[in-house]
Amino acid sequence: MIVKDQGIVLRTVPLTNTSQIVTWLTADGGKLATAAKGSQRPDSPFLGQYDLFYTCELLYYARAPRHLHLLKECTPLAPRPALRRDWRACAAASYAASLFDRILPEGPADPALYRLLDDTLDALADRTPGPAFLPRFELRLLRTLGLAPDWTRCARCRAPLLLPGGPGSGPAAFLDARGGRLLCPGCAAGGEGRGELLPLGASTLAILAAITGGRSIPPALPAAVYRELRQAVGLWLERHADVAPRARNAALEILEAPEPA
């Protein structure tokens, strides 16, 4: 059966000396892998038609689910050349594509995930990302996967965490890293946390709740808020999406490096 779909290239690996396996996140078919036979020959019709971070229209011969499909035709819809010139944007795009590749099993996926990655790559091709770009993207991904926490209530006693006028002094909540839940100061002090407790200020909680709720946030965040945001989302990804921190830290360090003069 021949299938027509739109897809974003997540990864390419050699299949033979002259052929590649291309892993896609597609609009209709979810995550799938196709063989691009002869794509590395100098006269291949596939030359320049797909590459990392491209959104393409593709035609492929579908084989049994979770088998290697056969790529027949491919036309770039959005090649995003800026991602090949801007190394910060390239680092963020690499991390975003690899995160989708790691988190999603092959097979059908919520089309909202395809739209999220397409929008994320468009935004990165449009302008150089600041450091807060990645935690914001990760929270949107967690929300789309249904894995984002409720940042407004204690997971144990359900007490609201964002009170008008703020919590006074001290953290507004604690992220229980091992238990993978958010606790109010009372429950955290009562020994409910099962491991390391990450304190979160009221401003950070408000930012986390705003991003998760799909609301916009200020482009520049205070350093302390950014640090807590980075740590909280990293812990949540590790605990709930089984994402190892190494690739994430590498991408974040590139975005946090000072702008060259």
Binding site for Zn ion (CB under 5 A): 154, 156-157, 159, 184, 187
Min dist CB 202 to Zn ion, Å, is 15
d(CA 40, CA 59): 18
DSSP 18: S
Cβ proximity to Zn ion, 187 vs 251, nearer residue = 187
* 187 within 8 A of 157, measured Cβ to Cβ: yes
The single-letter code of the amino acid at 93 is: A
**Nearer CB in complex with Zn ion: 148/184:** 184
Measured from the CB atom, the residue of 33 and 154 that comes closer to Zn ion is: 154
CB of 164 to Zn ion, least distance (A): 18
Interatomic CA distance for residues 32 and 54, integer angstroms: 15
Give min distance, CB of 154 to Zn ion, in A: 3
Report the distance separating Cα 71 and Cα 40, nearest Å: 14
Q: Which is nearer to Zn ion, 184 or 197 (CB)?
A: 184
User: Which CB atom, from 138 or from 176, has the smaller least distance to Zn ion?
Assistant: 176
Shortest distance, position 16 Cβ to Zn ion, whole Å:
58
Q: Other C-beta atoms within 10 Å of 161: how many?
A: 23
Q: Do 196 and 224 touch, CB atoms closer than 8 A?
A: no
CB of 148 to Zn ion, least distance (A): 19
